[in-house]
Amino acid sequence: MQTVSVVIPAYNPGPYLAEAVESAVSQIPPPLEVIVVDDGSAEPIAVPENPLVRVIRQDNAGPSAARNRGIREARGDLIAFLDADDVWYPGKLAAQVALMRPEVGLCSCDFEAIEATGKRPGWGGHGGDYRQLLRGNSIHTSGAIARRSLLLEVGCFDEALSHSEEWGTWLDIARRSELEHAPGVFVGYRLHDQNASKDYRRMWRGAMKVLWRHRGIHALPGVRRVGQIYGSQAFDAFRLTKRPPHLLWAFILWPDYVLRQVWGRVGPRSRAAPHS
């Protein structure tokens, strides 16, 4: 039977960490261990007492370094990742471990977003292959479980990247093995102001660095898709703040979308205006 180590990077996680840990240790069957890597938090972190849980402390080095430390310290055959502000739902590990055949190196699952006003659908994971994954990262970190030996083989997460580093790791694994996907919503992704994904400019730069390392004709759809994702986020930021730099970024990344949005507002008014 394959064993699972859960790796949770934590930096000033606040009140969410306890719920994340509880959602991991309560899986049936339970994981071999839950490793919480305290990445130099400036405040004490509250970790539930449980024989499955151990805490490793290090100087602040970022989430990639914290995940890599957890991978190196882990004893399980498989590594399941969970962010300190996310939560797993019952059945998550059982559904994914059942799909981790020897030829499978990585398995994803669906998630939903948790907002202050309630929950809303997220997006699915990925059961395709390397070429499909090049079109865009569809594997949520808290929904990913990977073979530890492959993670070590590809060098784990690139600590030089501050964004999209997980996509690069998934691509490296997809080059070497098959991918699987467990259908069903098994992860709650908590949305708040501190989410790294709020910074569309850094996310775009990180994604482009990943694509450059995997450059080739098959990466071109990924370039377009990355522009669409972060171009729409830039336009949303412009609508919210009315700041011109956001509009400029949106136009650079996804000009067709911006023109459609502008025409959708200006076109009806120009047609309705009286003619002299």
Dist. CA 28–CA 62, nearest whole Å: 31
pLDDT given at position 1: 86
52 and 141 in a common domain: yes
232 and 184 in a common domain: no
191 and 122 in a common domain: yes
The first and second tokens of residue 94, run together, are 């059982």
Which range marks the domain in which residue 51 is found?
4-196
Q: pLDDT by residue (tens digit) across 41-73?
A: 998 999 999 999 999 999 999 999 999 999 999
pLDDT at 267 over 70: no
Q: pLDDT by residue (tens digit) across 210-252?
A: 999 888 878 888 999 899 988 999 999 999 999 999 999 999 9
Q: pLDDT by residue (tens digit) across 178-194?
A: 999 999 899 999 887 65
- Find, among 202, 117, 111, the residue nearest to 165 by Cα: 202
Q: What is the DSSP string of 250-272?
A: HHHH-HHHHHHHHHHHHHHHHHH
Centroid of chain to Cα 51: 28
Q: Are 143 and 186 spatial neighbours (Cβ–Cβ below 8 Å)?
A: yes
Instruction: Point out the domain boundary residue: 196, 214, 242.
Output: 196
187 and 239 in a common domain: no
pLDDT given at position 270: 54
Q: Are 209 and 161 spatial neighbours (Cβ–Cβ below 8 Å)?
A: yes
Q: Hey, what amino acid is at 64?
A: S
Residue 208 is assigned to a structural domain of this protein: no
Residue 218 is assigned to a structural domain of this protein: no
Dist. CA 269–CA 164, nearest whole Å: 41
Q: Coil, strand or helix: which one is 267?
A: helix
CATH at residue 150: 3.90.550.10
Confidence of residue 14 (pLDDT cuts 50, 70, 90): confident
Q: For tokens 């990585």, what's the residue?
A: 106
pLDDT given at position 266: 60
Write the CB contacts of 120 (distance below 8 Å, at least 6 apart in sequence).
112, 113
Omega before 29 cis (within 30°)?
yes
Confidence of residue 274 (pLDDT cuts 50, 70, 90): low
Q: Coil, strand or helix: which one is 107?
A: strand
Residue 64 is assigned to a structural domain of this protein: yes
